[in-house]
């Protein structure tokens, strides 16, 4: 086989060592290359305004092969300085010719080109590709986070809408709408009293017969007989002539965004209490029109009839039934105030009593149901007082239990309990409204995150796209450099084929 036909294969990473081992380049070539670089830097300072030169010199490392292209361009721009002997009088041309000669001494250009080729292939190009991959990955992650923000926003929106739907509010002015739901409470209570309470009358009668006490379950019996009356009427067995229910302990306006002072509980007092006065001689106003003189005056014991005026208190009024005021027109009854103004369902104390009685009645019926349904008579405490009662079998007792459960379910339903707690607990209103507002803040935050991540994704994608031209240019320059090196080495070995392997471009 002819030696001319045998190709020369050189690995890119071993090219510098190969050149030194073949004594094509000196092993200390890096010391000499500094002078060449200095000459290039000086020559660049004086260059003609040529577009090809500007493109050639912009953003690239000037090597020997670039210098050859620069000289070819200067031959066109500096042709007027060429004399009859074929040499150029232009200093620009002289500078670049000197650079070429310095490069060619000891094949400095080839050693430098080999190093530049290995650096581009092993570091520069992979680094640029890795940077692009990282930017694209970050862009995709930002886009995924934006999509996740949309999903989270929809989840919070759904939770918010469901919560508002359960509470029966629109969710526009949360606290005010929650407080206004108190208006629905009487209707809900009336439905329970009319539709459910009468159904448990037979259960109450059965329990009375068992206990032998007509005064058991007093709250339930009162609800069956007279309905959901005021506590006043339950206590005194007569309706009040006037009901002054305690004012709501909060404002109907939504003050969640105001200061802590604005969200303080309003106890219905418009004027502040003055506990002191700078005037040491200030007198206490007891509510009368006349001033009270504590220093001078005698006690009127009521002996002198003439001393009594028209506003004299009549101590002959009967005080039977504390809290009842006898009006001048002769009608019985009084004014229901404070807790006595609440209905039995509304009053926290009597509501608890009602629930206790319902659970007591339910437990009795379940025990009776168990007694009727079990076959093991040895483990049953027989309700002997009801053994003669044949009107209620296991089926009827079971129906009674279901009716009581229906009443308990209505009184402890989440919607009913929320409205009830709204009326009696300002803190609960704040907690409930804050939970809903927290969801709204979360929705707004996810909206902002969605836009932010989406913009970030676009920005990163643009950065990655901006690296493409530089990477493409670097790959093209590296391919050109590889061909120049192969061609140069081929000339040194009688034009044998030279293959630089390991260049994954």
Q: What is the pLDDT of residue 405?
A: 92
**Least confident interval from 49-53, 130-134, 308-312, 450-454:** 308-312
Those residues whose C-beta lies under 8 Å from the C-beta of residue 75, and which sit 6 or more positions away, are 93
Q: What is the mean pLDDT of residues 314-332?
A: 44
Average pLDDT over residues 69-74: 86
Q: Shortest CA distance to 504 belongs to which of 123, 134, 15?
A: 123
- Which DSSP category does 412 fall into? S
- Is it the case that residue 208 has pLDDT exceeding 50? yes
The span from the CA of 333 to the CA of 254, in Å, is 39
3-class DSSP state for residue 160? helix
Q: CA-CA distance, 53 to 96, in Å (whole number)?
A: 13
* Three-state DSSP state, 24: coil
The total of other beta-carbon atoms located within 10 Å of residue 172's CB is 9
Higher pLDDT, residue 319 or 110? 110
What does the pLDDT look like over 10-59, one tens digit per residue? 999 999 999 999 999 998 898 889 899 999 888 888 777 777 777 777 76
Of residues 400 and 394, more confidence is placed in: 400
Is it the case that residue 158 has pLDDT exceeding 90? yes
User: How many other CB atoms are found less than 10 A from the CB of residue 238?
Assistant: 13
CA angle 173, 177, 183 (to 5 degrees): 165
Q: How far, rounded to the nearest angstrom, does the alpha carbon of residue 327 sit from its chain's CA centroid?
A: 60
Quote the mean pLDDT of the chain.
79
State how far the Cα of 309 lies from the Cα of 301, in Å rounded to an integer. Answer: 13
Q: Which long-range contacts (CB under 8 A, 24 or more apart) does 165-172 make?
A: 166/414, 166/415, 167/415, 167/418, 167/432, 168/415, 171/436, 171/440
Name the band, by pLDDT with cuts 50, 70 and 90, for residue 88. Answer: confident
Q: Could you tell me which residue, 260 or 413, shows the higher pLDDT?
A: 413
In the structure, what pLDDT confidence band is assigned to residue 83 with cuts at 50, 70 and 90?
low
Q: 109 pLDDT exceeds 50?
A: yes
Confidence check: pLDDT of 296 > 90 = no
- Per-residue confidence band for 329, with pLDDT thresholds at 50, 70 and 90: very low
Paired with 10 in beta bridges are 500
Provide the pLDDT confidence category of residue 390 given band limits of 50, 70 and 90: low
336-352: average pLDDT: 87
Q: What is the pLDDT of residues 398-457, one digit of tens each?
A: 888 999 999 999 999 888 888 888 888 888 888 888 899 999 999 999 999 999 999 999
Q: Does 80 score more than 80 pLDDT?
A: no
Cα 191–196–199 angle (5° rounding)? 150
Position 487 confidence tier, pLDDT thresholds 50, 70, 90 = very high
In this prediction, residue 151 carries a pLDDT of 94
- DSSP, res 247: P
The model's confidence at residue 300, banded by pLDDT at 50, 70 and 90, is very low
Lowest mean pLDDT: which of 15-19, 184-188, 311-315? 311-315
| Rounded average pLDDT over 386-399 | 71
Q: Tokens for 135?
A: 């930017």
| Across 129-140, average pLDDT | 95
Quick one: what percent of the chain has pLDDT higher than 70?
Answer: 77
Full-model pTM: 0.60
Please state which of the ranges 77-86, 241-250, 280-289 shows the lowest mean pLDDT.
Answer: 280-289
- Which stretches of 171-217 are DSSP H helices? 174-180, 185-195, 201-211
CA gyration radius, the chain: 51
Which of 157-171, 201-215, 320-334 comes out lowest in average pLDDT? 320-334
Of the pLDDT bands very low, low, confident and very high (cuts 50, 70, 90), residue 1 is low
pLDDT for 160 beyond 90: yes
Confidence of residue 263 (pLDDT cuts 50, 70, 90): very low
pLDDT at 85: 56
Please give the Cα distance from 457 to 145 (Å, whole number).
Answer: 10
pLDDT at 334: 80
Highest mean pLDDT among 177-186, 263-272, 277-286 belongs to: 177-186
- Residue 413: CB atoms within 10 A of its CB come to 14
List, as one string, the DSSP characters of 277-338. Answer: -S-TTPPP--S-SSPP-SSS-----S--GGG--TT---TTS---STT----TT-----EEEG
Backbone angles phi, psi at 309, to 5 degrees: -100, -175
Percent above pLDDT 90 for the chain: 32
Dihedral angle computed from the Cα positions of residues 406, 408, 414 and 419, in that order, rounded to the nearest 10 degrees = 110
Find the mean pLDDT for residues 247-259.
54
For residues 107 and 330, the model is more confident at: 107
Neighbours of 244 (CB within 10 A): 12
What length does the chain have? 505
Region 61-80: what's the mean pLDDT? 83
CB atoms within 10 A of CB 146: 19
- Please give the Cα distance from 232 to 333 (Å, whole number): 10
Q: Please report the pLDDT score of residue 370 as a whole number.
A: 85
d(CA 422, CA 169) in angstroms, rounded, equals 13
The answer to whether residues 428 and 422 touch, using CB atoms and an 8 Å cutoff, is yes
Within 13 Å and on the Cβ side, how many CA atoms surround 268? 7
Average pLDDT (142-159) is 94
């Amino acid at each position: 086989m002819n030696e001319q036909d045998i190709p020369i294969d050189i690995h890119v990473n071993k090219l510098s060592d190969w050149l030194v081992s073949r004594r094509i380049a000196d092993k200390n070539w890096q010391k000499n290359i500094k002078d060449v670089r200095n000459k290039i830097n000086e020559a660049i300072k004086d260059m003609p305004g040529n577009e090809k030169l500007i493109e050639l010199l912009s953003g690239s490392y000037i090597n020997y092969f670039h210098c050859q292209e620069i000289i070819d361009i200067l031959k066109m721009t500096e042709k007027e300085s060429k004399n009859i002997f074929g040499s150029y009088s232009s200093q620009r041309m002289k500078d670049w010719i000197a650079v070429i000669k310095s490069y060619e001494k000891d094949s400095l250009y080839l050693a430098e080109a080999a190093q530049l080729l290995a650096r581009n292939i092993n570091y520069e190009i992979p680094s640029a590709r890795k940077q692009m991959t990282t930017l694209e990955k970050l862009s995709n992650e930002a886009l995924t986070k934006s999509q996740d923000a949309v999903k989270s926003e929809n989840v919070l929106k759904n939770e918010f809408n469901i919560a508002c739907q359960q509470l029966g509010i629109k969710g526009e002015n949360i606290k005010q709408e929650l407080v206004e739901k108190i208006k629905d409470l009487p209707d809900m209570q009336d439905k329970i009293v009319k539709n459910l309470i009468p159904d448990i009358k037979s259960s109450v009668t059965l329990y009375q017969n068992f206990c032998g006490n007509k005064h058991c379950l007093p709250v339930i019996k009162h609800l069956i007989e007279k309905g959901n009356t005021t506590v006043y009427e339950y206590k005194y067995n007569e309706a009040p002539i006037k009901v002054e229910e305690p004012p709501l302990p909060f404002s109907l306006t939504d003050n969640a965004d105001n200061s802590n002072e604005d969200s303080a509980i309003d106890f219905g007092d418009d004027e502040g209490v003055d506990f002191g006065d700078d005037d040491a001689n200030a007198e206490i106003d007891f509510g009368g029109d006349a001033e009270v003189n504590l220093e001078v005056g005698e006690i009127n014991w009521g002996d002198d009839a003439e001393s009594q005026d028209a506003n004299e208190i009549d101590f002959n009024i009967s005080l039977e039934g504390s809290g009842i005021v006898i009006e001048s027109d002769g009608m019985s009854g009084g004014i229901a105030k404070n807790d006595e103004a609440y209905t039995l369902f509304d009053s926290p104390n009597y509501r608890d009593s009602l629930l206790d009685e319902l659970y007591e009645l339910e437990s009795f019926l379940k025990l009776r149901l168990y007694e009727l349904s079990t076959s093991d008579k040895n483990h049953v405490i027989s309700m002997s007082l009801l053994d003669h009662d044949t009107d209620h079998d296991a089926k009827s007792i079971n129906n009674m239990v279901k009716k009581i459960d229906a009443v308990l379910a209505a009184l402890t339903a989440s919607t009913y309990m929320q409205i009830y707690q709204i009326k009696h607990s300002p803190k609960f209103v704040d907690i409930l409204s804050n939970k809903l507002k927290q969801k709204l803040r979360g929705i707004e935050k996810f909206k902002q995150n969605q836009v932010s991540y989406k913009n970030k994704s676009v920005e990163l994608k643009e950065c990655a796209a901006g690296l493409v031209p530089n990477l493409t240019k670097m790959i093209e320059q590296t391919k050109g450099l590889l061909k120049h090196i192969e061609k140069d080495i081929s000339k040194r070995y009688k034009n044998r084929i030279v293959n630089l392997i390991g260049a994954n471009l």
